């Protein structure tokens, strides 16, 4: 395990200026990838939360009408 951490510690990150004209393109592409990745990760966490816990009692839609179904399950990701 010690050699693993030494290997990671020896990695060097290149300066984007070394890429010349492509520096802006690389920066924008990486930013777009991170934004899309964040959206996807947030979606997956929400799907997991919906499956694992159901709705919080405070979020339950309590109908005030006299119908037979007083509880309406609400969810965008069903």
Q: Which long-range contacts (CB under 8 A, 24 or more apart) does 26-33 make?
A: none
pLDDT in tens, the chain (78 residues): 778 878 877 777 677 777 788 888 888 999 999 999 999 999 999 888 877 765 555 555 555 555 555 555 565 655
pLDDT digits (tens, 9 = 90+) for 41-54: 999 998 888 777 65
Residue burial 34-55, b: 16+ Cβ < 10 Å; e: rest: eeeeeeeeeeeeeeeeeeeeee
pTM over 0.85: no
| Domain spans in the chain, listed from the N-terminal domain onward | 2-55
Q: What count of residues does the chain have? A: 78
Count CB neighbours of 19 within 10 A: 13
Residue 30's Cβ-side half-sphere holds a number of Cα atoms within 13 Å equal to: 7
């Amino acid at each position: 395990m010690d050699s693993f951490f030494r290997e990671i510690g020896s990695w060097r990150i290149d300066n984007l200026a070394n890429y010349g004209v492509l520096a802006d393109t690389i920066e924008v592409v990486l930013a777009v990838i991170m934004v899309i990745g964040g959206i996807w990760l947030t979606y997956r966490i929400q799907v997991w939360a919906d499956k694992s816990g159901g709705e919080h009692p405070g979020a339950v839609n309590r109908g005030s009408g006299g119908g037979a179904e007083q509880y309406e399950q609400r969810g965008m990701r069903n």
